[in-house]
C-alpha cells in the first residue's frame, strides 16, 4: 500500500472506544479512552496494531500491549489518546518513568484528557513525588468530579507533603462520591488521627500554658480514667482567664467519678452561673440527683436536656451512665419506661440509655425545618439548643466573623455534628488570636471523626486486620 493510500485510510478511520481495567495499589478504575480516527474498511498496519493491543490487554498481557501501542504511536504520534493508552500499559507493568513520559506527551498534546492526568498523578504518588503529583490530580478531579480515585489520589498527595487538612478535604470528597469504599473511609480516619497529632504539636509548642491546652489535657486524662491528673489539669485550666465552655461541668464529672458529690454540684452550678444554657451541667445535675436516689428530679433534668437537643443527649448518654451503679441505672430505665408508656416522656429517650442503634429509633425533629437565621445563633446557644444554633450559622460560615465561627464550632460539636465543628474549628485556628481555641475544637472533633470513619471502614471490610489494629489502638488510648 502506497503512502497516499495509507493517508487516505487514516483519514477515513472511524471513532472507536474501548475500556481498559487498571488494577493497582490504589484500587480499580475503568476508564474509557477515545482513540481518535481508527479503522477503514481495509485492514492497515495501524488498525492491526490497535487490534493486537486490545487483544493483549484482554488476556492481561500488558507487556505485549505496550509494545503494540508503542508501534502504533510511532505511526501516529499526533494522537494523544494513543499515548495515554501506552502510558497505562507502562503503569500496569510498573515501568513508572516510561509511563510518566507517555502521559506527559499525551497531556502536552491535549491538556484536558482525564486519564493521563489521573495516572500521571497516581504514578507520582506511587514514587512518593507528592508535590509533582498534586497539579495533575487536581486537574483530574476538576475534569471528572465524580471519580473517587482522583480525590483519593489527591488526598494521598496532600498527606505526603504533610498538609493533612487538604488531605481530609480530598478524602471527604472521595467519600461523598463513593461512600461504600472501605479504603476511602480508612484513609479518612487515618488522616483525622494525623490531624490530631499535628494539632497537639502546635498546641504544645505555641500554647502550652493556655487554658485550652490544660482543658484538652484534662479531657484526655478523664477519658483514660486518670482522675487525679484530670482534676489537676481542670484546676489549671480554670485558673486562666480564657478556657472552653463546659470546663466547670467537665470537671464536675471527674469529681462525680471520684465520689466527691458536693464539689461536683458546686462545679455544675458554677457552669450554669456563667453559661445558663449548659446542657452538660444540667445533665451533670441529673446524674447527681440519681446518685442521691432522687429519680424524679433526675428524669426531669434529662427530659429537659432531650427536648433542648436530642443530639447532645445521644452523644453524652454513655458519659452520663459511666460508673453508675447498675441498680440505679435499672431504676432510671424503669421510671423512663413507665413515663414513656403513659406518654409523659419522648418516645426515643429510653432508647438512648439502652444503646438502641440510631436507625431503630424514631425520627428526630428536623432542625432544618425550623426557622433559623445567623442572627439568633447566640440565642439558641444560650437556650441549650445547639443543633438549631449550628443550623443557623453553618450556611453562612464563609462570611461569619470570628465570634460566630467560635459559636458554630461549639454548637456543632456539642450537638454531635462533628464534621461541621471540624470545618468551623479549622477556620478558627487560622487566626492567630483564636488559634488555641480553634485547635482545641479541631482536636476534639477529629478524634470523634477518626473513630467513626475507622469503625465504618471496619464494618465495610470486616476482614481487614489493619483496621482492627487501628481501632484497637484508639479504644485502648481512650
pLDDT tens figures, 394-425: 999 999 999 999 999 999 999 999 999 999 99
Is 204 a member of any domain?
no
The answer on pLDDT for 207 being more than 60 is yes
Q: How confident is the model over 428-447, as a mean pLDDT?
A: 96
pLDDT for position 35: 42
| DSSP conformation letters of 384-434 | T-HHHHHHHHGGGGGG--HHHHHHHHHHHHHTT-HHHHHHHHHHHHTSGGG
pLDDT for position 343: 81
pLDDT-derived band at 44 (thresholds 50, 70, 90) equals: confident
Is 471 a member of any domain?
no
How many angstroms separate the most distant Cα atoms in the chain? 102
The answer on pLDDT for 8 being more than 50 is no
Give this prediction's pTM: 0.82
pLDDT for position 376: 84
The answer on pLDDT for 167 being more than 80 is yes
pLDDT for position 464: 67
The answer on pLDDT for 232 being more than 50 is yes
Q: Give the domain range for residue 173.
A: 3-179
Is 81 a member of any domain?
yes
Range with the lowest mean pLDDT among 120-129, 143-152, 323-332, 341-350? 341-350
pLDDT for position 215: 97
Is 141 a member of any domain?
yes
pLDDT for position 282: 98
Is 313 a member of any domain?
no
pLDDT-derived band at 472 (thresholds 50, 70, 90) equals: low
**CATH number, domain at 90?**
1.25.40.10
Is 223 a member of any domain?
no
Q: How confident is the model over 52-56, as a mean pLDDT?
A: 88
Mean pLDDT, all residues of the chain: 85
Is 467 a member of any domain?
no
Contact 211, 219 (CB under 8 A): no
How many structural domains is the chain composed of?
Answer: 1
Is 448 a member of any domain?
no
What percentage of residues in the chain have a pLDDT greater than 90?
71
∠ CA 394-159-467 to the nearest 5 degrees? 90
Amino acid at each position: 500500500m502506497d503512502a497516499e493510500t495509507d493517508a487516505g485510510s487514516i483519514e477515513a478511520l472511524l471513532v472507536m472506544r474501548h475500556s481498559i481495567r487498571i488494577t493497582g495499589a490504589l484500587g480499580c478504575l475503568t476508564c474509557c479512552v477515545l482513540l481518535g480516527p481508527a479503522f477503514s474498511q481495509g485492514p492497515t498496519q495501524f488498525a492491526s496494531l490497535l487490534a493486537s493491543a486490545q487483544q493483549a490487554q484482554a488476556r492481561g498481557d500488558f507487556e505485549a500491549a505496550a509494545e503494540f501501542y508503542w508501534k502504533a504511536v510511532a505511526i501516529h504520534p499526533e494522537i494523544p489518546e494513543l499515548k495515554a493508552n501506552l502510558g497505562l500499559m507502562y503503569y500496569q507493568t510498573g515501568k513508572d518513568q516510561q509511563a510518566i513520559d507517555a502521559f506527559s506527551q499525551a497531556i502536552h498534546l491535549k491538556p484536558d484528557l482525564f486519564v493521563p492526568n489521573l495516572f500521571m498523578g497516581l504514578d507520582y504518588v506511587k514514587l512518593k513525588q507528592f508535590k509533582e503529583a498534586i497539579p495533575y490530580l487536581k486537574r483530574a478531579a476538576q475534569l471528572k468530579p465524580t471519580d473517587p480515585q482522583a480525590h483519593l489520589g489527591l488526598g494521598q498527595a496532600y498527606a505526603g507533603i504533610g498538609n493533612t487538612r487538604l488531605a481530609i478535604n480530598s478524602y471527604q470528597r472521595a467519600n461523598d462520591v463513593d461512600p461504600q469504599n472501605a479504603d476511602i473511609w480508612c484513609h479518612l480516619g487515618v488522616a483525622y488521627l494525623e490531624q490530631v497529632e499535628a494539632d497537639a504539636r502546635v498546641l504544645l509548642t505555641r500554647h502550652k500554658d493556655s487554658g485550652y491546652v490544660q482543658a484538652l489535657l484534662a479531657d484526655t486524662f478523664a477519658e483514660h480514667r486518670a482522675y487525679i491528673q484530670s482534676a489537676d489539669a481542670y484546676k489549671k485550666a480554670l485558673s486562666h482567664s480564657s478556657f472552653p465552655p463546659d470546663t466547670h461541668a467537665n470537671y464536675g464529672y471527674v469529681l462525680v467519678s471520684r465520689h466527691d458529690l458536693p464539689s461536683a454540684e458546686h462545679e455544675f452550678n458554677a457552669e450554669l452561673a456563667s453559661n445558663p444554657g449548659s446542657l452538660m451541667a444540667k445533665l451533670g445535675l441529673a446524674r447527681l440527683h440519681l446518685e442521691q436516689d432522687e429519680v424524679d428530679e433526675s428524669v426531669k433534668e434529662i427530659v429537659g436536656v432531650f427536648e433542648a437537643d436530642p443530639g447532645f443527649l445521644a452523644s453524652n448518654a454513655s458519659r452520663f451512665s459511666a460508673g453508675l451503679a447498675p441498680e440505679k441505672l435499672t431504676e432510671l430505665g424503669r421510671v423512663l419506661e413507665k413515663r414513656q408508656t403513659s406518654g409523659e416522656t419522648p418516645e426515643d429517650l429510653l432508647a438512648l440509655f439502652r444503646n438502641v442503634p440510631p436507625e431503630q429509633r424514631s425520627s428526630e425533629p428536623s432542625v432544618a425545618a425550623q426557622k433559623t437565621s445567623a442572627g439568633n445563633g447566640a440565642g439558641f446557644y444560650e437556650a441549650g439548643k445547639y443543633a438549631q444554633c449550628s443550623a443557623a450559622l453553618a450556611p453562612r460560615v464563609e462570611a461569619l466573623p470570628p465570634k460566630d465561627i467560635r459559636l458554630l464550632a461549639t454548637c456543632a460539636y456539642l450537638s454531635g455534628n462533628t464534621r461541621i465543628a471540624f470545618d468551623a474549628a479549622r477556620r478558627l485556628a487560622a487566626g492567630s488570636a483564636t488559634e488555641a481555641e480553634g485547635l482545641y475544637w479541631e482536636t476534639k472533633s477529629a478524634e470523634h471523626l477518626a473513630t467513626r470513619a475507622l469503625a465504618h471502614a471496619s464494618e465495610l471490610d470486616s476482614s481487614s486486620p489493619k483496621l482492627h489494629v487501628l481501632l484497637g489502638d484508639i479504644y485502648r488510648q481512650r
